[in-house]
């Protein structure tokens, strides 16, 4: 009888760790930094700094582990930006129409956030050091129906920032 009780308790130990014990309550209260961006899912319309039309579509992909942004500026090639989680940070990989892929990371996400600043951490696909590429992104969720992005571009040693303003379409 003692052997059966010991084996039963031993057998339930891993089950308690997987979600039936005190650890499950702590695990359930921890949210992913990506959760802060989930309200973006859907379609957005807006303008860039010069007033040209831009469309954004946010889609949750890869079983909820990434948020894909599809940017379609008027009269320009589309671009894709992927938002993923790296520990307690958000990570961005921007597949730029310039042909390179800057990777940026936010500061640690703690508490509720509506503004996210990303800084360049690595860059792939650059042909020359002077070639233009994105270095920073500031994404501000103004409210549930308005979004602002500030993209900073570096080319030939000169930085420029373009502000995009969007409203939810659906």
Q: What is the rounded distance in angstroms from the CA atom of residue 120 to the CA atom of residue 125?
A: 14
Confidence (pLDDT) at 111: 83
Confidence (pLDDT) at 25: 36
Confidence (pLDDT) at 4: 40
Give yes or no for residue 23 having a pLDDT over 80: no
Reported as a single tens digit per residue, the pLDDT across 42-96 is 999 999 988 999 999 999 999 999 999 999 999 899 999 999 999 999 999 999 9
| Architecture of the domain whose range is 33-168 | Beta Barrel (2.40)
Domain boundaries, the chain: 1-30, 33-168
Confidence (pLDDT) at 144: 95
Which has more confidence, 24 or 168? 168
């Amino acid at each position: 009888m003692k052997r059966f009780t010991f084996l039963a308790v031993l057998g339930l130990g891993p089950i308690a760790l997987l979600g039936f014990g005190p650890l499950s309550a702590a695990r359930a209260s921890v949210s992913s930094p990506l959760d802060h961006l989930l309200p973006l899912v859907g379609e957005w319309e807006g303008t860039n700094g010069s007033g040209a039309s831009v469309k954004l579509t946010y889609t949750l992909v890869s079983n909820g582990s990434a948020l894909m942004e599809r940017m379609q500026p008027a009269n320009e090639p589309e671009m894709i930006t992927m938002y993923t989680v790296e520990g307690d940070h958000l990570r961005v990989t921007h597949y730029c129409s310039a042909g390179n892929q800057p990777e940026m990371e936010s500061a640690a996400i703690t508490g509720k956030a509506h503004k996210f600043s990303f800084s360049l951490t690595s860059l792939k696909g650059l042909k020359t050091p002077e070639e233009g590429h994105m270095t920073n992104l500031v994404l501000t969720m103004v409210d549930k129906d308005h979004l602002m992005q500030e993209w900073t571009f570096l080319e030939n040693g000169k930085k420029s920032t373009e502000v995009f303003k969007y409203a939810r379409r659906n």
